[in-house]
Structure 1
Amino acid sequence: MSNMRRKAGPSKGDLREAAILDVARRMFAERSYEAVTIDDLAAGAGISRTGFYFYFPTKPAVLTALMARVSDDFAASHVWFDSTGPAPDLLREQLLMSARIWRANAGLLSCSATAAASSEPLRDLLTHSKARYDERAAAKIRRDQANGTATTAITAERLAEMISAIRDTQYGRLDQATDTELRNVVDTLVTAIQRLVYH
């Protein structure tokens, strides 16, 4: 009979790391990137500055960990990319989910854009996230071009880039948007994307 005990729950280290991330999410939502210090993050998590470095080497490393989670949330919302043809209802569902994620993390996204200039790991994560979105969009469009529903006047890759640019421009206005305003933005995007891609 094994003497191995099943782990009862998260370790003290896991809890402290989670506390740092929770504090960071709140602070980056309320302040500029420059206004948040490692001392702020450590104090908010109830640990010393030295203790902070046991979990994260830098402030951008905290942002990278948070943005990895947000990136996964975005990826999980991409229900339209697996559909066939225009599928406007699935497009609306995908855009509603991703718009809500964007709005909920507007401060974090803004801080990440600032920090990426000086953090290669964060910059790589953001680049990978965008590429993942564009590749999935292009794959869907290529399938729809092959079945005759999507335009072939523009390459699938270029259409995917255009969708990404249109979406990001509209989402950039969502940080203080009401639910009604958010839905209006999504409706506009659905119409624009459908007209751009399909006959």
Structure 2
Amino acid sequence: MLLGDRRTLSKGERQRRAILDSLADLLATRPIGELTVGEIAAAAGVRRSGYYFYFESKYSALAVATTEIWSELMERVQSFARTDNEVVADFLSRTAASTIDVWHEHEAVLIASIQAIPLDDQIASMWQVWNRRLSGILIEQILRDIADGRASPSSQDVPNLVESLLEMTLHMYYKDRLEKNTVEQTRRMLDTVRSIWLASIWGAGK
């Protein structure tokens, strides 16, 4: 609902929201593999049959919750494309700051979603689609930078290089929240990731 919208949620909307919120709460204490639909439904205050009216499995609910978080990230970042006057290092810092904030706020769901990739085809496919979309945006920008003489990638295979860097970055964010790193440890991780991107694509110090 939009800010200022006084329309009350329908019973169905409330139940669906309760299921997603309860799933997030339970994931803060136990991994997705240990949870059952019955437990999630009970925590949400709905019948098991009611749960299946909205979601076909615990992984389908997790997929919806992850999709909501991804949409939130896209809203916060506004653009993963660098603006004309934006310095590369500032662009990397801006997008990293928004991304790690989202990871901090939704770490239980995101950790579970990453762990579910080998267990659920839908979630695996979702992450692949998102990574391809993000790769496409970044590759387009990098190719323009190469043409302008602003980038000199460490590999001529730019698409594969970008996909590898994104996989590395995702793993670092996942590991950071899985290990519950301190603010200082997270800052050092982000600095390291930024340095790797700079050196791999644009050249250190640019």
Asked which structure has the greater RCO (Cα within 8 Å, sep 6+), the reply is 1
Greater shift, 187-196 or 83-92, is seen at 83-92
Q: Deviations over 1:154-173 (max 9, x none)?
A: 23212312321331232233
Secondary structure at 1:154 match in 2: coil
- For residue 183 of structure 2, the aligned residue among 157, 179, 191 is 179
| Stretch of structure 1 that moved more, 82-91 or 176-185 | 82-91
Which residue of structure 2 aligns with residue 112 of structure 1?
113
Whole-Å Cα distance in 1 between the matches of residues 175 and 185 of structure 2?
10
Distance 1:123 1:147, change over 3 A: same
Q: In the aligned structure 2, how far is the partner of 1:171 from the partner of 1:8?
A: 37
Q: 1:79 to 1:188 in 2, by over 3 A?
A: farther
The TM-score with structure 2 as length reference comes to 0.83
Question: Quick one: distance in 1 between partners of 2:182 and 2:43?
Answer: 30
2-structure distance, mates of 1:114, 1:187? 25
Residue 46 of structure 1: aligned partner: 45
C-alpha separation in 2, matches of 1:155 and 1:196: 12
Residue in structure 1 matched with residue 19 of structure 2 by the alignment: 20
TM-score, normalising length from structure 1?
A: 0.86
Residues 79 and 93, structure 1, Cα contact 8 Å, conserved in 2: no
Aligned to 1:124: 125
CA distances 1:91-133 after superposition (whole Å, capped 9, x unpaired): 1011111122223333323322343334332222121111112
Change (3 A) 1:116 1:185: closer
Instruction: Name the CA shift for 1:154/1:74 in 2 (closer, same or farther; >3 Å).
Output: farther
CA RMSD of aligned residues (A): 2.3
1:191 — aligned with what? 195
> Does the 8 A contact of 2:80 with 2:134 survive in 1?
no
Are the counterparts in 2 of residues 63 and 112 from structure 1 also a CA contact under 8 Å? Answer: yes
Deviations 1:129-148 (Å, cap 9, x if unpaired)?
11112111211111111111
Unaligned runs of 5+ in 1: 1-5
Deviations 1:80-101 (A, max 9, x none): 5233475211210111111222
What does residue 3 of structure 1 align with? none
Residues 23-74 of structure 1: CA deviation (Å, up to 9, x unaligned)? 1111123211121111111111111111111111211110110111122233
Q: Is 1:167 the counterpart of 2:169 in the alignment?
A: yes
Letter in 2 for 1:32: P
**Cα distance between partner residues in 2 of 1:93 and 1:113:** 23
What is the Cα deviation at residue 7 of structure 1?
8.4
> Partner residue of 2:57?
58
Please state whether the residue corresponding to 1:192 is helix, strand or coil.
helix
User: How many residues matched?
Assistant: 194
Question: Is the contact between residue 17 and residue 55 of structure 1 (CA under 8 Å) also seen in structure 2?
Answer: yes
Residues 173/115 of structure 1: CA separation in 2 closer, same or farther (3 Å cut): closer
1:117 is paired with a residue of what secondary structure? coil
